[in-house]
Structure 1
Amino acid sequence: MDNMITIITPTYNRCSKLKALYKSLLSQTSKSFEWLVIDDGSTDKTQSYIKELQKDEQPFKIKYLYQENSGKHVALNNAINATDTTLTFIVDSDDCLVPEAIETIIFKYRKIPSYKLNKLCGISFLKINSKGKLLLNKFSNKVEEDTYVNYRILRHIKGDMAEVWITKVLKKYPFPVFKNEKFLSEDVVWIKMSGPYKMIFFDDPIYIADYLSEGLTKNRRSANWKSPLGCVYKGDLLMGSSFPFKYRIKGSLYYNIYGFRAGKNALEIIKESKNKIVLLTIIPSYIVFRYWKLKY
């Protein structure tokens, strides 16, 4: 059977965590996948660990790519470019999969009618922690088809889900890269795919995550502060006409605050934006910027 899925794992100095993920991949009831580890400039034993695994006969193909430390979004771009399977599944280095994860993904994907596939960018499943608790604030317990924006953002479903992407669509939407910035919220791409494409949201838990204190999820505000241009980009997306007014206000705050953080003054921010809504929030944005500047 040809491999249907590439599991992409971006990693940076997480060799000790990769071993648990590898063990969970060995336990998969279906081995119709490849594991692509993209190393974002690790200085630990990540490279030698993966090379040792590659020397032994494995029940699935293991690939390894190395890049100078540039950030997870750059690593994902490089890994996605190197992927040629039907589906792409991003699994972080400190997480694991339940034994039936790959089997479940393939089974669900193959049941999708062909006339729907051209309108989809991916399918989504549930994440749980090691105690079996869902990593969402709410869930409807039924299969639904909708855009990422409608389902996740406009319905206020917060937390993490396990998205599996159709590779040929994902390749059309590379993560934007900004000079000297090593962090970018992944959902900027999910938002851009939303509208042209929908997703199917399934209610199967397939992914186990216990967030590390040093992980990106728990340090997002600090990471954002160090990468303001990516945040300006996200703010601009949130000001799009497909969002209700309150979200566009939130987007303008994001756009303005991180515009100030990027070293721009109020006039430059207003002139560069094509959306006049930034005028409404320029003063409160500056107040928040000054407060965050003291904090971060």
Structure 2
Amino acid sequence: MKTLTVFTPTYNRAYCLEKCYHSLVRQDNEDFIWLIIDDGSTDNTKELVNQWKQEKKIDIKYHWQENQGMHGAHNTAYKLIETELNVCIDSDDYMADGAVERILSYWKKYGNENVSGIAALDATIEHQIIGSKFPEKLNRATLFDLYNKYGVTGDKKLVYRTELTKLYPYPIFQDEKYVGLAYKYYMLDKQYEMLLMNEVLCHVEYLPDGSSLNMYNQYLKNPKGFSFYRKELMKLPFGGKVFKYKQAIHYVSSNLLMKNPKLFIETPKKALTVLAFPLGFLLYVFIIKKTRTEVN
């Protein structure tokens, strides 16, 4: 069995998926599987993937499902993956040359059951690091501490042990398509740190149809998913009052968006939610105005 699965959730991205494919073909270590989770595409994604499978340049597995959103595609990927390690490369991104070899060599040298995986760097297509590098001489940390204790910024590439990513599946809410992926990562942070590798594994391009550039619309369309995410972050055994106050503000706005009369009953932090209500209301108003402006 191969050691690594590179999985790619995709939805109507046939026009840019080829760049990801060619980056995997260029890898000098073939100890990986490319798992494509087609989240309900109606374009020619399936035909394109079948063409690549016939070329037999890399090991490709393809799975189509009804559209569930990014988190639903991740759920399916984690159910299907059988390799020891996995990493997500989005459909509009591509893997850095030599990335598979770097992952497997690093894991062979330092990997163990006391860590959840490896955190590494993303870069733009112009080879500029996204955000900041990890602090020098810091070899391992939780993802939460990287951002909230050590001041790391920007998206990072996460390589996880598959047996752990099968834990904490993302909930699926009817008529919604978004739950923050970091939910699973923070759940794993409660027990494990990650190894840190200050090397680029992925090149990122933020396309206009990407979820990261449509966040206000995501807030509006997926209030149950955002409410769940903020509640879980308020429950974390780490984070401090300021962090949890911010989560409470977002929790309030999401519950106002979905007109939830049990807003103060369902929160895990009642006093904090009461204090956060004024700013949460202002955020709710801002989201409504912002999305109306974008539509017009």
Q: What TM-score does the superposition give when structure 2 sets the normalisation length?
A: 0.93
User: Match for residue 134 of structure 1?
Assistant: 129
User: 1:258 matched to which residue of 2?
Assistant: 254
Rounded to whole Å, the distance in 2 between the matches of 1:213 and 1:137 is 24
The CA deviation at 1:210 is 1.6
Q: Deviations over 1:75-126 (max 9, x none)?
A: 111111011000011000111111110000000000116xxx2221111111
Aligned to 1:270: 264
**Partner residue of 1:281?**
276
1:168 corresponds, among 153, 163, 167, to 163
Match of 1:111, SS state, is: helix
Name the CA distance, whole Å, in 1 between partners of 2:226 and 2:149: 19
TM-superposed deviation, 1:149: 1.0
Paired residue type of 1:249: Y
Deviations 1:37-90 (A, max 9, x none): 0001111100011112222322x2100000011101111111110110000110
Q: Give me the whole-angstrom Cα distance separating, in 1, the residues matched to 2:283 and 2:59.
A: 49
Query: Is 1:198 the counterpart of 2:193 in the alignment?
Result: yes
CA-CA distance at 1:184 after TM superposition: 1.7
Q: How far apart, CA to CA, are the structure 1 residues paired with 2:176 and 2:211?
A: 14
Note if contact 1:137-1:158 (Cα within 8 Å) is conserved in structure 2: yes
Aligned to 1:124: 119
3-state DSSP of counterpart to 1:88 = strand
1:139–1:121 Cα change, 3 Å: closer
Q: Are positions 1:146 and 2:148 aligned together?
A: no
SS in 2 for 1:123: strand
2-structure distance, mates of 1:261, 1:137: 34
CA offset at residue 138 of structure 1? 5.4
Question: What amino acid does structure 2 have at the position aligned with 1:10?
Answer: P
In 2, the alpha carbon distance for the partners of 1:190 and 1:136 equals 19
Match of 1:81 in 2: 79
The secondary structure found in structure 1 opposite 2:117 is: strand
Q: Give 1:230's aligned amino acid.
A: G
Say whether the 8 Å CA contact 1:126–1:204 is kept in structure 2.
Answer: yes
Q: Does the 8 Å contact 2:183/2:233 carry over to 1?
A: no
Conserved? CA contact 1:143–1:202, under 8 Å: no
Conservation of the 8 A alpha-carbon contact between 1:86 and 1:166 = yes
1:184 maps to 179
What's the CA shift for 1:136?
1.1
Equivalent residue for 2:106? 108
Q: How does 1:84-103 map to 2 (within 5 A)?
A: 84-103=82-101
**Hey, what does 2:239 align to over in structure 1?**
243
AA aligned to 1:205 is V
Query: What's the offset of the Cα at 1:224?
Result: 2.4
Contact 1:33 1:61 in 2 (8 A): yes
Please tell me whether the aligned partners of residues 123 and 165 of structure 1 are also in contact (alpha carbons under 8 angstroms). yes
Matched, 1:70 2:65: no
The count of aligned residue pairs is 289
Percent identity (aligned): 27
Conserved? CA contact 1:237–1:251, under 8 Å: no
SS in structure 1 opposite 2:86? strand
Q: Shift in Å at residue 137 of structure 1?
A: 4.2
- Distance (Å, rounded) in 1 between the aligned partners of 2:228 and 2:110: 34
Deviations 1:240-273 (A, max 9, x none): 34111101110110111101111114xx211111
Counterpart of 1:92, as a letter, is D
| Gap runs ≥5 in structure 1 | none
Q: Aligned partner of 2:264: which letter?
A: I
Cα gap change, 1:226 to 1:142, in 2 (>3 Å): farther
TM-score by length of 1: 0.93
SS of the equivalent of 2:127 reads coil
Shift of 1:16: 1.7
Task: Could you tell me which runs of 5 or more consecutive residues in structure 2 were left unpaired when the two chains were aligned.
Answer: 292-296
Residue type at the aligned position of 1:208: H
